[in-house]
Chain A
Amino acid sequence: AQRVTQPEKLLSVFKGAPVELKCNYSYSGSPELFWYVQYSRQRLQLLLRHISRESIKGFTADLNKGETSFHLKKPFAQEEDSAMYYCALTPGGYQKVTFGTGTKLQVIP
């Protein structure tokens, strides 16, 4: 069975500090990994996916198959980054998404 683990419920950092939101997964095949974000009073939206190897809003995430991790990183946190972040996984080719429990990022001015 597939599983996504986000160990931190809340992460508080000061503005300008580096951010790392942890995500580990378990899946027997080759999954696709995603990060979703939900800003206050907005809908859940895709932030980035591992296959794109892109940087969105300064965030990056590298898939480490050896450690089965997909941590989300940003070198300098901004106040507008405050939101709920969900790590997610799909088996690939099929859209059933398995989510982690989410991490609330709080950027302190």
Chain B
Amino acid sequence: EAGVTQFPSHSVIEKGQTVTLRCDPISGHDNLYWYRRVMGKEIKFLLHFVKESKQDESGMPNNRFLAERTGGTYSTLKVQPAELEDSGVYFCASSHASGNTIYFGEGSWLTVV
């Protein structure tokens, strides 16, 4: 089965610009998560979708970050406007509704200059 896919794999943007990251979970997975790792720090939870609903968005750093999952399939994470401290790797992950195993994507590397 296809794994979690993320696009783009790498992105370099200027401070103040907008970037949209996309995640396609494994087909049939209701749970979708976004995490990120900024340089030198741990991987941190951003938010959790169950189908199209936001179950937990307590990890979203501020209102410059907007996540959507219209239709309960793929998800997008938009950063607008981007700041230097947003640079890092953004991971998407998915799991079955009752599953205990989370499958990660390869990550989207974001560099804000």
Contacts and interface: CB of A to CB of B under 8 A. Distances in A.
Interface of A: 4, 32, 36, 42-46, 49, 86, 95-102
Interface stretch (B17-25, B40-48, B61-69, B71-79): B40-48
Contacts of A96: 33, 45, 48, 56
Nearest to A44: B104
B107 A43 contact: yes
B95 interface: yes
Nearest to B59: A96
B43 A46 contact: no
Interface of B: 3-4, 31, 33, 35, 41-45, 48, 56, 91, 95, 100-107
A86 B43 contact: yes
Nearest to B106: A43
Contacts of B95: 95
19 contacts: A4-B42, A32-B100, A36-B104, A43-B104, A43-B106, A44-B43, A44-B91, A45-B103, A45-B104, A95-B95, A96-B33, A96-B45, A96-B48, A96-B56, A97-B102, A99-B42, A99-B44, A100-B42, A102-B42
A43 B103 CA distance: 9
A42 B31 CA distance: 22
A46 B101 contact: yes
Contacts of A36: 104
A97 B48 CA distance: 10
Contacts of A49: 100
Nearest to A46: B101
A43 B2 CA distance: 13
